Chains A and B, each alone.
Chain A
Amino acid sequence: MDQQHIRNFSIIAHIDHGKSTLADRVIEATGLLTEREMQEQILDNMELERERGITIKSQAVRTVYKAKNNEEYIFNMIDTPGHVDFTYEVSRSLKACDGAVLVVDASQGIEAQTLANVYLALDNDLDVFPVLNKIDLPSADPDRVAEEIEDVIGIEAMDAPRISAKQGIGIEDVLEEIVHKIPAPKGDPDKPLKALIFDSLYDSYKGIIVFIRVMDGTVKKGDRVRFMATGKSDLVVEVGYFGAGQFIPCDELSAGAVGYICASIKDLKETRVGDTVTNDLDPCDEALPGYRKVNSMVYCGIYPADAAKYTDLREALEKLQLNDASLVYEPETSAALGFGFRCGFLGLLHLDIIEERLEREYDLDLVTTAPGVVYKVYKNDGTVIDITNPANLPDPTEIEHMEEPFVAAEIMVNTEFLGAIIKLCQERRGIQTGMDYIETTRVLLKYDLPLNEIIYDFFDALKSRSKGYASFDYELKEYVPSSLVKLDILINREYVDALSFIVFKDSAYERGRKMCEKLKAEIPRHLFEIPIQAAVGGKVIARETVKAVRKDVLAKCYGGDISRKKKLLEKQKEGKKKMRQIGSVEVPKEAFLSVLKLDSED
C-alpha cells in the first residue's frame, strides 16, 4: 500500500488515563478481530503487565481502517511503556511514529507524565492531537481540561474528541482524526534501506525478532542487513508485520512500513533499541540520530534464598535477559549471602518487575539487598571507578572525591499540598529549579534531586503527603560532587557486607539509628543477646540490642498433646529455615531490605 494510506502513531498518556483501553477500542473498531479473539487488553499480553496495569515492553499492532471517505488505511499503532524507568524506550517508540494521540483524563486533567510524554513526542517532531477520555465520569470536566491543554501545552484542544474508551463512546471520531491529523510517512522507497529498531524480543521458534520502522528503502527476505551501532551483519530470514498478538510474514517492508525482521541473530545485545538497520551491500550514508546505549540507574544484589538454587537463578536471569536487554547482571559473592548476582536496572519499577518475574515465573525464593545508584569515585591516583555495590567502596584514604547522580524531576501538585511536597523535596536534598502555576490550584514544581533519595520510597511519600494527588516524572541530569560515606552494619559484632549502604554524610547518623531500629524489629530474639551496630569508618554511631529469649517453653505435654506440640516445634524449625545465618544469628531475608523502610513513619 502506498504511504499516503499508512498512519504510524502512538497513544500517549499519564498512567491510568486510559491509554490501553483506547488502544483496545481502536483494534476492535478497525475490525481485524472478533470480540472472542480479544484478550481483555490485547496490547498488554504479559500476565504481569495486566496485573500492574502498566505496559512494560513496547509492542506494535497493524490494523486496517476503512475511513468515512471509503478508503482503507493501514494503522500501525505502537504502544509505549508508561513509566519513567523506560523513557528511552518510549522515545525510540515515538521516533518510529509520525504522530501521537494524547489521551487526557477529563476528570483529572494534565499530570506530570502527560507533560513528559508530550514533550518527548514534540522533541521527536510528532504531530500530537488530544483526546479527552472518561467523559462518562460524573467528575469529568472536558471544557476545563481542554482549556488547560491549550494553556499549558499550547496545542489546539477545544475540538478534541470527547470520548469514553471504556464505554466505547466517540471512538469513530478518534479514528477519523488519526486519518486526518496524523501525517502520512514521507520516506523514499528507492533510497538505501534505513530502518529504526524500536524494540526486539526473543521467541523460542523464530529466535530474535527485531521491530523496525522503515524510514527509507525496502527490506525483504534474503537481504543481508547491517546493524550500524554494533556493525554486525546478518541474513534476513523473514519479514512481516504485526497482527494482533501474532506475527504475520509478508514479502517486503518498504518506506513508511512498520514491521519486523528475523535474522539468525543469537544475542539480543546485537539488536539494540535505537540502532539503525541498513542494507549491508548498499548501506545508507548515516545512521538515524539519537541512538544511545541504555545504562542501568539502579543496582542491587540478588541472591537465592536457598544457596543450592544459584544455578537456577543464573539460568532464570539468562532467560529474562533474552527479552530484556536493559537487564544487566554479573556474579558476585557476599560473605553474608553467598553466591549471587549484582543486577542493574533502569529504575526501581524495572527492578520490581524483574524480581517478581524471577519469583513468579521461575519459582525462586530470593534475598535482595537494598537497591543503590551508581556512584563515581575519583581516586587519589587519578582513576575513576563506578561503584554499584557499597561493599566495594575503596578505603576513604584512597578517595579524592565522590559524585552521585542527580535527576531533574517534575512534580505536579495541588496548591493545597504544595507545602508538604516542598518539605519532602527539601528533606531529600532537593534543589528547586522552578515553580509554575498551571492554573490557580495546580503547580508544576521542578527540582533537582539526588537519585539515591528518590529510588526507595519517594513515590510513596509523595502520594501519601498529597493524598494521592501529586504526580511525578524525572530524568537523569548529571553527576554532582557530594559528601558521601559508607554506612556499615554489624550484627553480633560481625560486619554484614550485604547491609552496607552509601549515604549522604549529614544523614548518616539518622539513617544508622533508624537502620538499627528496623533491624531490631526484623531480627527475632535468640537464645543470646544480639547487639546491632551502625558504623561509619569503623566508628560506631548507633546501637540497638535484640534481647535474649527469656522463656519459651511448653508448660504441658501429655498423651493427647504430643502431635499438636510436635507441630508447634516443627513451625519453630520451619521459621528458622527461612532465615539467613550470619555468624550465629538467624536473619530473616526481609531484614536485607530494611534500609528501604527508613522513611516509612515519622
Chain B
Amino acid sequence: MERNISVYVHIPFCVKKCRYCDFPSFAGADNIDSYFTALTDEIRKERDTRGRTADTVYIGGGTPSCVPPLLIEAVLDELRKTYVINDDTEISMEMNPGTCAETSPEVYRRAGINRISLGCQSFNDKSLKRLGRIHSADDIIKTYDILRNGGFENINLDLISSLPGEGLRDTERSLRKAIGLQPEHISVYSLIIEEGTEFHRLLAAGEMKDLPDEEEQAETDLLIRTILSEEKYKRYEISNYAREGRECRHNICYWKRKEYRGFGLAAASLVGNRRFTNTRDMVYINDPGGILSEDRILSRDEEMAEFMFLGLRQTEGVSASDFSRSFGSAIEEVYGGQLEDQMKKGFMEHPGERYFYNDRGLEVSNILMSEFLL
C-alpha cells in the first residue's frame, strides 16, 4: 500500500514583520502574484510523492490570511490534483487577528480548510505592542467570533510566554482570556530570542532588561501547565495542549517522523530518508523547488537520533516497538545507557513499552536529548 503523506505550504507574506520573528516572511505585497504562480508550479511538478493520500495539509507562514483567500483556494485546488485529499484530511491554516474579513471563512471552508491556528501571542495590549503585532486583544476576539460564526469547529490559539515585562500574573490573565474563548487547542511557546530579529538587536544593545529570568520562567511554565490541565487541555507536546482528540495531527507527523512534503519558500520535506529544504531567498520564484538550502540522505544513526529527540518532545514519548520496527534494533540496544541514566536521575518514565519524559525532564530536555545524538 502506498504510504500517506503530510503536506506543508508556506506563505511568506505579512502585513508587518514582528520584532521577535525569525520565520521566512516579508512585509508587504511585493511578489505575491509571482510567488503563487511559482508555488502552484512547484506543486504541479511534484513527482516522487504524487498520488499519495494526504493525511494532513498545513498552510503556514508568514500570515496566509493576509493574501486574498482565493489564492489559498487555488493552492488547495492544485494540491487536490497532486494528492488524494478527502474529508478525513486535516487541513489547517495559520491566521493573524485582524486579517480575516467577515466573508473569508466561507472561501476557506469551501477550499476545504477545517482547522485554524490563530496567532494571538498575548491578550495583553502592552505586550502586543511591544512584540510589534498589528492587532489588539479586542481584535483577537473579533476575529475569533468571525471564525466561529463562519463555521470553524477546530481552532487553535497560539500564545507566547516569558515575554519581556510580563510577570506571572500577566501571563495568567492572558491565558485565562484565551481559555475563556474555549478553543479546541492552545499552544504556549516560551519566547526564544533568535538571532537576526529586532529583539535580538535590542537584547544585545542592552535595551531589554526586563526579560523574566530562568527561575521566573520555570514558575510561569508550571502555572501554565497547571491551569491548562485544570481546564481540560491535555499537554501532548512541550508547548502544545488540546482537548481530547483535537491534537494537531500535522505537527504530530513531524514528531513521529512520518513523511512530509513542503512546498514554497524555505519549506522542508522528509521523503524516505531524504531531507531537503527550499531556499529561504525569494530567488525561489525563478526556479520553484529547484534551489535547495539543504538536501541530504540521513544516515541510520541520524534517523535514530531524530526519532528520539523528536519523539521525546511528546508527553507520550517514544515507543520501543516503533523503534525496533523502524530500525531493526531494540531501543535498549542502541540507547540503553542513556535511557537507564535518565530514568535513574528521575527525568524519564518507562511504565510499559514507552519511554517518556516527566515534567522535569521536558523542562531540561535540551540537555537530555543531546545524549541521544550518535
Are B218 and A551 neighbours in the complex by a CB distance under 8 Å? yes
| Chain A hits for B345, CB < 8 A | 527-528
B309 at interface, CB cutoff 8 A: yes
| Contacting pair B366 A559 (CB below 8 A) | no
**Other-chain residue from A549, A553, A560 in contact with B277 (beta carbon distance below 8 A):** A560
| Chain A 173-214 interface mask (CB, 8 Å, partner B; 1/0) | 000000000000000000000000000000000000000000
Tell me which residues from 536 to 593 in chain A have a Cβ below 8 Å from any Cβ of chain B.
549-560, 562-563, 565-566, 568-570, 572-573, 576
One of A527, A554, A572 near B238 (C-beta < 8 A): A554
In contact, A560 and B262 (Cβ under 8 angstroms) = yes
Chain B hits for A551, CB < 8 A: 190, 214, 217-218, 221, 363-364
Identity of the chain B residue whose Cβ is nearest the Cβ of A526 in the assembled complex: B367
Give Cα A558 to B191, complex, Å.
16
Please measure, in the bound complex, the distance between the C-alpha atom of A525 and the C-alpha atom of B217, giving whole angstroms. 17
Contact across chains for A568 and B254 when beta carbons are under 8 A apart:
no
Question: CB-CB < 8 A to A528: which residues of B?
Answer: 345
What residues on A are CB-neighbors of B302 within 8 Å? 566
Question: Which of the listed residues B238, B277, B362, B369 has the most CB atoms from chain A within 10 Å of its own CB?
Answer: B369
| Pairwise interchain contact A557-B218, C-beta atoms closer than 8 A | no
Q: Does B371 contact A (CB under 8 A)?
A: yes
Q: CB of B251 within 8 A of chain A?
A: yes
A326 to B369, CA, bound (A): 49
Chain A residue at minimum C-beta to C-beta distance from B237: A557
B83 proximal to A (CB < 8 A): no
Contact A559 B260 (CB under 8 A): yes
User: What's the least CB distance linking A293 to chain B, in Å?
Assistant: 52
Chain A nearest Cβ from B304, distance in angstroms: 12
Residues of A within 8 A of B239 (CB): 555-556
B-chain residues with CB within 8 Å of residue A558 when the two chains form the complex:
251, 254
Whether B189 contacts A555 by the Cβ 8 Å rule is yes
> What B residues does A562 contact at CB under 8 A?
254, 268, 275, 306, 310
CA distance A124 to B337 in the complex (A): 68
Q: A559 to B218, Cβ gap below 8 A?
A: no
B283 within 8 A of A: no
A563 to B369, CA, bound (A): 14
**A414–B367 CA distance with the chains assembled, in angstroms:** 54
Alpha-carbon gap, A527 to B367, bound state (A): 8
Contacts A549-B364, A551-B364, A570-B370 given: A556-B260 contact, CB under 8 Å?
A: no
Verify B306–A549 contact, CB threshold 8 A.
no
> Is residue B315 contacting chain A, with contact meaning CB distance below 8 A?
no
A553 closest partner in B (C-beta) = B365
Chain A residues, Cβ within 8 Å of B310:
557, 562
**Distance in angstroms between the alpha carbons of A538 and B215 in the assembled complex:** 34
- Let me know if B370 and A559 touch, CB within 8 A: no
**Residues on the A chain within 8 Å of B221, using CB:** 551
Least CB separation from B302: chain A residue:
A566
Query: Count of A residues near B, CB < 8 Å?
Result: 24
Q: How far is the CA of A554 from the CA of B347 in the complex (A)?
A: 16
The answer to whether A576 touches B370, judged by C-beta atoms less than 8 angstroms apart, is yes
A331 to B364: give the CA distance in the assembly, Å: 41
Bound: A556/B214 CA distance, A = 17
B332 within 8 A of A: no
Per-residue CB contact flags for chain B residues 54-79 toward chain A (1 = under 8 Å, else 0) read 00000000000000000000000000
Q: Which residues of B contact A573 (CB under 8 A)?
A: 370-371, 373
Q: Determine how close the nearest CB of chain A comes to the CB of B318; give it in whole angstroms.
A: 15
B294 in the interface (beta carbon within 8 A)? yes
Determine whether B334 belongs to the interface, using a CB cutoff of 8 Å to chain A.
no
Please report the C-alpha to C-alpha distance between residue A551 and residue B369 in the assembled complex, in whole angstroms. 13
B266 to chain A, nearest CB (A): 6
Report the bound CA distance from A476 to B373 in whole Å. Answer: 54
Question: Are B190's CB and A557's CB within 8 A?
Answer: no
User: When the two chains form their complex, are residues A553 and B190 in contact, meaning their CB atoms are under 8 A apart?
Assistant: yes
Q: Are B366 and A527 in contact (CB under 8 A)?
A: no
Instruction: Give Cα distance in the complex from A552 to B367, angstroms.
Output: 7
Q: How far is the CB of A560 from chain B (nearest CB, A)?
A: 4
Q: Separation in Å of the A565 CB from the closest CB of chain B?
A: 8
Q: Which chain B positions have C-beta within 8 A of A554?
A: 192, 238, 365-366
* B350–chain A nearest beta-carbon distance, Å: 18
Q: Which residue of A lies closest to B366 (CB)?
A: A552
Q: Is B15 on the interface with A (CB-CB < 8 A)?
A: no
Is residue B140 within 8 Å, beta carbon to beta carbon, of the partner chain? Answer: no
Q: Which of B335-372 contact A (CB under 8 A)?
A: 345, 347, 362-371
**A568: chain B residues within 8 A (beta carbon):** 366
Cβ 8 A contact of B294, one of A549, A550, A563, A572: A563
**Docked complex: B147-192 residues within 8 A CB-CB of A:** 189-192
Known: A550-B363, A566-B305. A556 touches B373 (CB 8 A): no
B189 near A556 with CB under 8 A, answer yes
Shortest CB-to-CB span from A546 to chain B, Å, is 14
Q: Measured between C-beta atoms, what is the minimum distance from B317 to chain A in Å? A: 15
Q: Report the separation of the CA atoms of residues A565 and B302 in the bound assembly, to the nearest whole angstrom.
A: 13
Report the separation of the CA atoms of residues A566 and B215 in the bound assembly, to the nearest whole angstrom. Answer: 26
Taking A527-B347, A549-B214 as known contacts, 18 extra A-B pairs with beta carbons closer than 8 A to each other, sorted by chain A number, are: A550-B364, A551-B190, A552-B366, A553-B238, A553-B362, A553-B364, A554-B238, A559-B260, A559-B262, A560-B266, A560-B267, A560-B277, A563-B277, A566-B305, A566-B309, A569-B370, A572-B367, A576-B370
Q: Can you name 23 A-B pairs with beta carbons within 8 Å?
A: A527-B347, A550-B363, A551-B217, A551-B363, A551-B364, A552-B367, A553-B363, A554-B192, A554-B366, A555-B191, A555-B192, A555-B239, A556-B239, A557-B238, A557-B310, A559-B8, A560-B266, A560-B268, A562-B306, A563-B275, A566-B302, A570-B370, A573-B371
Which are the 4 A-B pairs with shortest beta-carbon distances? A572-B370, A555-B189, A560-B268, A569-B370
